[in-house]
Amino acid sequence: MKNRIKQLRQKNHLTLKEVSQKVGMANNTLSRYETGKREPKLETWQKLADYFNVSVTYLQGIDDEDYIEFACNECGHTFKVPRELETKVVSCPFCSCQETSYEV
């Protein structure tokens, strides 16, 4: 399974140096992550995902679509919504209320 670090970096017209400086790592470390020669720790995956505004599983290449996890304030269930819908009103699929918030 191939991660999407390089793909997202290039899509955003960023250099290795720019991304590595923003997330606080050496250029060669980021390069090794991109090529799969080195595996980031979970906290590093999260830093990179936050930087690119995607989920960790999307960045890792596990999910084909980027999702945001929501929690229903009414019934307590959690559910995923495609990121492109994050700005729309999200209804809970379990109780249909619209009292939802981003899962942290």
> Residues 74-88: what's their mean pLDDT?
77
Looking at the whole model, is its pTM more than 0.75?
Answer: no
Rounded CA gap, 16 and 104, in Å? 28
The residue assigned the tokens 């109780």 is 95
pLDDT at 89: 65
Rounded CA gap, 69 and 42, in Å? 18
21-to-38, 43, 48, 74, 97 alpha-carbon distances in Å:
18, 16, 11, 41, 42
Rounded CA gap, 96 and 79, in Å? 12
The yes or no reply on domain 5-60 and CATH 3.30.800.10 is no
Domain map (residue ranges) of the chain: 5-60, 67-102
Cβ neighbours around 66 below 10 Å, total: 19
pLDDT at 86: 65
pLDDT at residue 70 is higher than 90: no
47-to-10, 42, 94 alpha-carbon distances in Å:
18, 9, 31
The mean pLDDT of the chain is 86
Which of 57, 60, 53 lies closest to 12 in space, CA to CA? 53
